[in-house]
Chains A and B, each alone.
Chain A
Amino acid sequence: MSIWYRLQVSKNQHGLYALAYQMLGNQLEAEDVVQDTFIKLWQRKEQGVEFEKAWLYKVTRNQCLDIIRRRKHAYEYQIAHVVGSDVARSASDEVLNDELSGEIGKAIKQLEEPYKSLLVMREVNGLSYQVLADSLDLSLSQTKVYLHRARKQLKESLEKSYA
């Protein structure tokens, strides 16, 4: 079992990290998310996991979305309670801290979900449409449509900034 587990870690760690990093824009958080995903896989090893790849990406994405939601709440809280203070400003700077520098990183960050995840999982991780569909609980045709929209939105946003 541990050999199977080690194989899963070796095979998927870089892809999951790329997804988490693109979603969160922070190395340490991305590393933590990947670690937590694999801990969840370890805890489920007795029950077995079907379609491991899709499952791993789904868990990673959900964890990233939780972190983004928590960040948003923290940011809104700071704004509501200590507006204008230096504390609020530094907290909001931290929340908006963007390690994915450059126009493309910013444009990807601005994409709505599930477009952002789909684009990263397809373009960076090279996952098949079927794995994407399974990871995000979408149909195959929905996946293709969303991915097309994601690419279109990204290109439009970049073309505007270059024009």
Chain B
Amino acid sequence: MREQSIEKQVSEELTEYFEQARQLKCPPSMKKNLYAQIGLNKTRQWLQPAMAFSFVALSSLGLVWHNHNQNEQMVLAQAERDMQIAMHYMQKVSEKTLTETNTHGIKPAIIVPVSKSMAQI
């Protein structure tokens, strides 16, 4: 009985010891000194500017995309406004009699905003 408990205790403590030993990490100073010694740090000298350049390029791309998106939204808003104006005139025309629509002033007032907004959409 006692032998069994000792054996159990030993097994448990061994498991715990090896688990702790597995958690042990090599200090970062080793890698740093190693790369400095064999001159591998030099690669970082081009890596950092390359990363900075990539960042600037990505930011510019983002800005261009944002501006493009904003322009598109402005065009759409303008088209919508034109469309509303056109609808307003269409409403007015529908309220008028056939003889009244033959006057010269109404036709261009309807056709121009409608064709303009259709072209933009």
**Residues of chain A at the chain B interface (Cβ within 8 Å):** 2, 5-6, 9, 13-14, 16-18, 21-22, 27, 31, 34-35, 38-39, 42, 102-105, 120, 123-124, 126, 154-155, 158-159, 162-163
Q: How many A-B residue pairs have CB under 8 A?
A: 67
**Residues of chain B at the chain A interface (Cβ within 8 Å):** 6-7, 9-11, 13-14, 17-18, 21-22, 24-27, 29-31, 33-34, 37-38, 40, 43
A14 with B26, Cβ < 8 A, contacts A9-B34, A42-B38, A104-B17 known:
yes
Chain A interface, DSSP helix/strand/loop, else mixed: helix
Is B27 within 8 A of A124, CB to CB?
Answer: no
28 sample A-B contacts, Cβ–Cβ < 8 Å, listed by A number: A9-B34, A13-B31, A16-B26, A17-B24, A17-B25, A17-B27, A17-B30, A18-B21, A18-B24, A27-B27, A31-B29, A34-B26, A34-B30, A35-B33, A35-B34, A38-B34, A104-B14, A105-B17, A124-B18, A124-B22, A126-B22, A154-B14, A155-B10, A159-B6, A159-B7, A159-B10, A162-B6, A163-B6
Is A158 within 8 A of B14, CB to CB?
Answer: yes
Is A39 within 8 A of B9, CB to CB?
Answer: no
How far apart are the CA atoms of A2 and B34 in the complex, in Å? 13
Hey, which chain A residues are within 8 Å of B14, CB to CB? 104, 154-155, 158
Hey, which chain A residues are within 8 Å of B31, CB to CB? 9, 13
Hey, which chain B residues are within 8 Å of A42, CB to CB? 38
A104 with B34, Cβ < 8 A, contacts A2-B43, A16-B26 known:
no
